[in-house]
Structure 1
Amino acid sequence: MSTLSSLPERISFKNTLPKTIQGLKKRAKKISVPGQKHAEALDIVAREMGYRDYRQAQQTLASSEGSMEANQPGYPIFLCAYWRDTDTTPRSAGCETLKVYLPRPMNDFVSKHQATHTRNLEGFRQEASDHLEMISNTSSQARAWELLVRAALSLQFMEGSGLRPATSQKQLRALKLLEGFPSKDHVSLWIDPASGMWVALDEPYGHVNDLPLMQRRAAWIADNALHLAKPAWSGLYYPNHAVPHLISPSEGLLRKTTSALEDRSPIAVVPSEEQPWLGTSEPYNARFISPVRMANGTARRARPGTTYGFSKGAVEYHREAGYPSRWRPKTPLSQADHKRVGAELQCLMISPMPFKAYHKIRTWCSTLENWMYAEYRDGDRDQDFDDTYYGGKPSEYLAALEQLSALNRIRAVVINGYVECKPRRDLLKDLDIATAIIEGHAT
């Protein structure tokens, strides 16, 4: 009797098991106990579903879902963003993924290089041909949703209009033509690959609809032999809040672009009370693997600033997701030596010299100050500590020989005070470059 009475319960349990990767992840979060790693919960649910572990379930289900998506209109593109919210108690964090469909594969209408110049995509990297990932963290879940929607709209804009972002200095010269355009704001420049003609997207706020301003803008357009269009479209910079306008020397290209934008509904919208988030929300440490990356079988790259490294003789003193970690020599320079170096650098920074040499010196002045603050905490700092690299009373080194002597003195302090390591080598290399520039300029 006990066996029969327990049978319906087991059948019901099996019927509630997830059938998708997303369902697997949701169940793993639900069954997870305090202190348990998310990866362990994923493996438990995968074994409940009959797989060896989460990795096997992920591979199998991705293949199955890929075949189901074959019936979807277009090609899937995945957009990911990470967030950390320090205003919540306790602090919260997560990873958001938005999947959209477009008529063509992403790299058919924008290259990896072009994407880094595209409005709303500047902070993303192409992790796979079907996957764009935000490099740094954003400040909240709502902000992550907003940035992902804007990124999706930019992809739709390029695919639908056929335009590409301006990337070269030659292409960007067109922006100079718009310098006198009244009340222009948030301008981005786009190129038609077929003709080489440009289209500017101007997105000011609602005040631009005031009649006197509209008349001034129209007059300026006519005086400069350009054409202006105001498509019924949400825009890219601040969708549905800014007012998008298109400007181009080509009236035909303007008509074509306007028609393409007005013919399509937005591919994604920012969540609201009426519109729930249509993407996926996961823990911050989730590492989404797209179907293309999964099929290739190659390991995904970690975001900068999210992995630990090692450098002999050096220590990491600053880490931030999306940016290279900062390193300094492991042993500190004495505060007296910092003051000697700081005094020399302050004099050099007000001395006449080639800009490239000045830039090297200025950069290392800031870096050495960062090292110093990392090396000495509040209670260990000498008097006038804050004025070591900035705030003194420097005097110019007018002669090149004086500047070269100062650089040699800095070099000697660095060699004697810091242990051999890559950060020290980088500093000495740039001091040598600055020295060579000043020597070359003096001859």
Structure 2
Amino acid sequence: MDITGLRPSKARVEPRGGYSARLPGHDHGSVWFDPVAKHHVGADEPYSGRALSKMAERDAWARQHNWSLAKPDWAGMYFPEGGSKLFLYADASKGYSLDGLLKALSKASAAIVPENCDRVAIEAHAPFVTPGDKAAAEAKRAKDVQRKAPSPRGPKTTVEYRLPLSGKPRRRPKTAMPVDAHAKIGLLLKGVLVDMRARAGVYKRIDAVRS
């Protein structure tokens, strides 16, 4: 797409006559659109044996329908490492030529096949996570940590602490409460709880403070 300017298309590319007039030996086809010439181009990628056995029929088909049929130097898209061969074909009756595409593809980099791709080995049971997904997850974690980081400033009379189970940050007075004050407040809270058993909203709030 980058080197030819072609764009994927869902159009059908074949001479009039529909399926019966399609390219002999056609296999693994795709359709492309030339936005400059406003013309559709077909790509055909049969395996080499099938392509060779149908070569005479394919050439006769091109002459019969006045279509261009050519094989680029570039290996192709479907399964070049497994023997598929790329052919391009297009309606030549209106003056469209495949020469520009053939020239562009002759300068294309090697086809994308396993031999020239980076490989990632993972355990059979492990889910595969792409490098992009890992980078996105790490960026999100860093952002979350930055957003949740406690403010360095706070009331001068309190300090931060965290609950053992939930880990939620809370604040308490800097100075320790005397034991007798603890006992007095404990009695007050228990008294309120006893009196407020019928008031669920009040009871829960006081019980949370007591806890």
TM-score (norm 2): 0.52
Q: Please, which runs of 5 or more residues in structure 2 have no aligned partner?
A: 142-211
| Higher gyration radius (CA) | 2
Deviation string, structure 1 residues 212-263 (Cα, Å, up to 9, x no partner): x322211211221211111122111111411211001246541111111121
Distance 1:160 1:214 in 2: 28
Return the letter of the residue paired with 1:229. A
1:234 paired with 2:75, answer yes
Number of aligned residues: 132
Distance 1:176 1:249 in 2: 8
Distance 1:298 1:196 in 2: 44
Question: Structure 1 residues 248, 298: CA separation in 2 closer, same or farther (over 3 Å shift)?
Answer: farther
Match for residue 174 of structure 1 among 5, 9, 13: 13
Contact 1:175-1:189 within 8 A present in 2 as well: no
Question: Structure 1 residues 298, 267: CA separation in 2 closer, same or farther (over 3 Å shift)?
Answer: farther
Alignment of 1:38-437 (within 5 A): 158-167=1-10, 172-175=11-14, 177=16, 179=19, 180=21, 181-207=23-49, 208-210=51-53, 213-240=54-81, 241-250=83-92, 252-266=96-110, 268-271=112-115, 278-282=118-122, 284-290=126-132, 294=136
Give 3-state SS (helix, strand or coil) of 2:89's partner.
strand
Distance 2:140 2:34 in 1: 35
Return the letter of the residue paired with 1:279. R
Superposition deviation, residue 289 in structure 1: 5.0
Give 3-state SS (helix, strand or coil) of 1:243's partner.
coil
Give 3-state SS (helix, strand or coil) of 1:290's partner.
helix
Which residue of 1 is the match for residue 149 of structure 2? none
Question: Structure 1 residues 214, 281: CA separation in 2 closer, same or farther (over 3 Å shift)?
Answer: same
Identity of aligned residues (%): 28
Question: Structure 1 residues 267, 280: CA separation in 2 closer, same or farther (over 3 Å shift)?
Answer: farther
Return the letter of the residue paired with 1:195. A
Superposition deviation, residue 282 in structure 1: 4.1
Contact 2:77-2:111 within 8 A present in 1 as well: no
> Quick check: which one's helix share is greater?
1
Question: Structure 1 residues 185, 289: CA separation in 2 closer, same or farther (over 3 Å shift)?
Answer: closer
Distance 1:222 1:190 in 2: 22
Return the letter of the residue paired with 2:130. F
Deviation string, structure 1 residues 8-63 (Cα, Å, up to 9, x no partner): xxxxxxxxxxxxxxxxxxxxxxxxxxxxxxxxxxxxxxxxxxxxxxxxxxxxxxxx
Distance 2:9 2:59 in 1: 25
TM-score (norm 1): 0.26
Contact 2:90-2:96 within 8 A present in 1 as well: no
